[in-house]
Amino acid sequence: MPSDRILDEALDAAGRAWLADAEARCAADPDAVARLFPAARRACGRGTLPTGRPVAEAARIRLLLALPLRGEELGRAAFDLYRHGDTAERLAVLRGLDPLDHHRALGEAGLPIVRDALRTNDTRLIEAAAGPYAAARLDDDAYRQAVLKCVFVGVPVTSVAGLADRADGELARMAADHARERRAAGRDVPPDVERILRLAGEREF
């Protein structure tokens, strides 16, 4: 993993030792992750990586990658951690979907997690759900709904993955309708609507 070194450098000796041991335990017994996943922040500290993401989140993603599971089984294990996770744990699962897809053949088995997060009203979860995994795996309808929800709740569309590739005429129509509705109500139109229209226009024409 390219991020391995960045995380290792951010951890102190005790944190590195804890993580190595925790990874070994997850690899030996996937059930062990249930207690290790929530403990990661207390063991690895409250710091952040140069990327701006929490050290504990990167450590949790390493635990996911350590599980001796692939595909559907991995999707079920990740959903269980997400379902019983606090917000920080849920964010780690959501941000781990893309590496799990690339390195552990997650396939579409992570989509139930993305759909759940997109149904919430927590902008942090919505933003994390609209990441590269969603851009790669959501079908067109679901992807458009995800983008529109981001606009609606105020998640900047600059943080939505894949928009330049996936903004299409239908998404442009939805964004334009949304803008009309805002204007009819006397409210201002978020600049992100313009951005979507522009991206869709560049792609279509």
55-84 mask for another protein (x: CB under 8 A)?
A: ----------------------------xx
Query: Does 86 engage in binding with another protein (CB under 8 A)?
Result: yes
Among 53, 70, 115, 124, binds another protein (CB under 8 A): 124
Distance of CA 46 to the CA centre of its chain: 20
User: What token pair was written down for 42?
Assistant: 């207390």
User: What token pair was written down for 48?
Assistant: 């952040």
Query: Does 87 engage in binding with another protein (CB under 8 A)?
Result: yes
Q: How far is the CB of 154 from another protein (least distance, A)?
A: 5
What is the separation, in whole angstroms, between the first and last Cα of the chain?
Answer: 38
Query: Does 122 engage in binding with another protein (CB under 8 A)?
Result: yes
Query: Does 102 engage in binding with another protein (CB under 8 A)?
Result: no
CA–CA separation, 126 and 37 (whole Å): 21
CB 134 within 8 A of CB 171: no
Q: Which 135-174 residues touch another protein, going by CB under 8 A? A: 153-154
Q: How far is the CB of 106 from another protein (least distance, A)?
A: 23
Among 38, 45, 71, 162, binds another protein (CB under 8 A): 38
Query: Does 35 engage in binding with another protein (CB under 8 A)?
Result: yes
CA–CA separation, 48 and 66 (whole Å): 21
What amino acid occupies position 195? R
CA–CA separation, 7 and 112 (whole Å): 28
Which among 41-49, 93-101, 164-172, 181-189 is the span making contact with another protein, rule CB under 8 A?
41-49
CA–CA separation, 106 and 130 (whole Å): 17
Q: Strand pairing partners for 48?
A: 54
Q: Which 182-201 residues touch another protein, going by CB under 8 A? A: none
Binding interface with another protein (CB under 8 A): 34-35, 38-39, 41-42, 46, 83-84, 86-88, 90, 121-124, 153-154
